[in-house]
Amino acid sequence: MGQTITEKIFSAHVGRDVKAGEIIRSNIDMVIGNDITTPISIRAFEESGKESLANPDGFAIVMDHFIPAKDIASANQAKISRDFAYKHNLKHFFDEKDMGIEHALLPEKGLVVPGDVIIGADSHTCTHGALGAFSTGMGSTDISFALITGGNWFKVPEAIKVVFSGKPAELIYGKDLILEVIRQIGVDGALYKTLEFTGDTIQHLNMDDRFSLCNMAIEAGAKNGIIAVDDTTREFLKEKNLARKPREFYSDDDATYVQTIHIDVTKLEPVIAYPHLPSNGQTLSRAVNDNIEIDQVFIGSCTNGRLEDLRIAAKILKGKKVARKTRLIITPATQKISLQAQKEGLVEIFVEAGAVFSNPTCGACLGGYMGILGTHEKCVSTTNRNFIGRMGDRSSEIYLANSAIAAASAVAGKIADPRSL
C-alpha cells in the first residue's frame, strides 16, 4: 500500500515505513517559539534540570505578538525569552532588530526546508506545509519536551486529499480556496488529519498563496496542511541559505485517503467568512448585497501580510482615499517585506490613501494591540480567525476576506467588489 507525503516524511525521520494511525517518536528539525508561548516552555525546561538544549540550532524564538512591548506585563513576558536566548546563545533568535511574524520570517530565512518535521507553540505553524514539510502546532509543554529530547511523540494523521482544478479567476487567491474548503467541511471536518492540497490549480498559485492556503488548515481542525514541492517551491528556496538539505516527498498513486474533495476554482467567487466562524463562508455577491458598513479594515498577519498581499492592496488603493468613517491598518509580515514595500512605493500609496502602516506584529490579529475593535464595530480582516471577541470587544464582528476585497472595502466603507470602484 502506498504512502502520503506526510507518512513518507515521518518514515524518513523514524527510519522505517509508518502508516496513518501509528503512534511514533520522531526527531524534530525545527522547534518554533514566540514571545507569548515560549516562557511556559522555558519554565518547564528549567524545571527538568536540563542545562543545555538537545538541538540548539533547531530552536527558533521569534518575538512577534506584543513586540515592541505594549505594556509592563508584555515587556516582562518578552524578557523571559530574551534572557533564555542570551543564556543559551541561540543562533535563531529574532527580536526587534530583525522583526517578523514567525510563519513568514522562518521561510524567508531558509529555516524551513522541504521534508522537515516542524513544531511550534502556535496553531498556525501548519503554514510551513506549503514548503512540503510536516508542520504542526503543539502545546508549550510539548515544546519543552522537544527542547529537552530533540523529538516528540506523534500520531501519524490520516489524510484528506483536496483536488483543486482550473486556473483561478480574477480576485481568487489562496485565501478564497481555503475558505471554500472550510465552508464545505466545517471547522472540525479535518480533525487531526492532514489536508493535502493537490490539483492543476496549484501550479497557478505563488508561494504567498500557498502559505495562506496551508496557514488556515487548522481552521478546519487539521493537524497539518501540505503541498508537494514543485518548481515554484524550488524557485522560492533557490537563493536562500537553507538550514538543511531539502528532501522532496510525493504521495504514491495508491496512497490511502479517508476523503477526497474536488473543487473547481473556475466557478468560485471570492469567499467572505461572516462572523463568527471561518466556516461561515458567503459569496462576495451576497456580502455586497448585504450592504455591510465597516469601521475597520486590517491587512496583515501570518495569513495575508506578505509582499503580494501588499501589492494587491496598493493596486486598488492607488489614487483613492479610505472612507471617512473607516480605518485601515496595514501590517507587513516581516521587515524585509516592509523594506521592499517602501522601495516599490507601496507605503506611500497606503499613507496617502489614509492607512496606518505598522511594524511587523501579530498584535491586531489576536486582539492584542494596534487595532482593537470597540463595541459593535465591524472589521474586514485578512487574518485567519473571526471568533467572538477575537479582535476586541465581544460584540464586534470580523469578516475574513482576501487582500483585494479588504482594500476595496476600506475605500467604500463597506464590503465591496474592487471592480466596482
Residue 324 in any domain: the answer is yes
The one-character DSSP state at 16 is S
- Same domain? For 245 and 313 the reply is no
- Same domain? For 184 and 282 the reply is no
Residue 315 in any domain: the answer is yes
Residue 1 in any domain: the answer is no
- Same domain? For 197 and 288 the reply is no
Share of the chain above pLDDT 90, in %: 95
Q: DSSP letter string over 268-285?
A: PPPEEE-TT-TT-EEEHH
Tens digit of pLDDT for each residue in 330-346?
999 999 999 999 999 99
Residue 269 in any domain: the answer is no
- Regarding predicted confidence, which is higher, 370 or 408? 408
Element (H, E) at 231: helix 231-237
- Residue 329 is predicted with a pLDDT of 97
Tens digit of pLDDT for each residue in 29-86?
999 999 999 999 999 999 999 989 999 999 999 999 999 999 999 999 999 999 999 9
E strands along 227-377, which residues? 259-264, 271-273, 281-283, 296-299, 327-330, 356-357
- Same domain? For 295 and 243 the reply is no
Widest CA span of the chain, in angstroms? 62
Pairwise CA distance, residues 321 & 327, whole Å: 11
- Answer with the one of 202, 237, 263 that is the final residue of a domain: 263
Tens digit of pLDDT for each residue in 347-360?
999 999 999 999 99
Residue 268 in any domain: the answer is no
- Residue 344 is predicted with a pLDDT of 97
Q: Residue 26: which residues within 8 A CB-CB, separation 6 or more?
A: 10, 13, 14, 117, 151, 152, 153, 154
Whether the predicted pLDDT of 237 surpasses 90:
yes
- Answer with the one of 263, 295, 315 that is the final residue of a domain: 263
Over the chain, what is the mean pLDDT? 96
Residue 174 in any domain: the answer is yes
- Same domain? For 233 and 377 the reply is no
Pairwise CA distance, residues 3 & 253, whole Å: 8
- Residue 164 is predicted with a pLDDT of 98
| Residues pairing with 224 in the sheet | 194
E strands along 63-180, which residues? 92-94, 117-120, 134-137, 151-155, 158-165
- Same domain? For 53 and 127 the reply is yes
E strands along 92-211, which residues? 92-94, 117-120, 134-137, 151-155, 158-165, 193-198
Structurally, the chain folds into a number of domains equal to 2
Residue 333 in any domain: the answer is yes
Q: Which domain holds residue 392?
A: 274-416
Tens digit of pLDDT for each residue in 136-176?
999 999 999 999 999 999 999 999 999 999 999 999 999 99
Q: Which three cell numbers stand for residue 298?
A: 486590517
- Quickly state the pLDDT bin for 363 (edges 50, 70, 90): confident
Q: Residue 164: which residues within 8 A CB-CB, separation 6 or more?
A: 177, 197, 198, 199, 200, 201, 202, 263, 265
- Same domain? For 251 and 287 the reply is no
Pairwise CA distance, residues 62 & 102, whole Å: 6
Pairwise CA distance, residues 255 & 357, whole Å: 46
Tens digit of pLDDT for each residue in 112-134?
999 999 999 999 999 999 999 99
pTM: 0.94
Pairwise CA distance, residues 227 & 57, whole Å: 25
- Same domain? For 285 and 239 the reply is no
- Same domain? For 358 and 222 the reply is no
- Residue 387 is predicted with a pLDDT of 94
Find the distance separating the first CA and the last CA of the chain, reported in whole Å.
54
Whether the predicted pLDDT of 365 surpasses 90:
no
| Residues pairing with 153 in the sheet | 25
- Same domain? For 106 and 251 the reply is yes
- Same domain? For 228 and 111 the reply is yes
Residue 201 in any domain: the answer is yes
- Answer with the one of 232, 263, 294 that is the final residue of a domain: 263
- CATH number for position 79: 3.30.499.10
- Residue 239 is predicted with a pLDDT of 86
- Same domain? For 71 and 216 the reply is yes
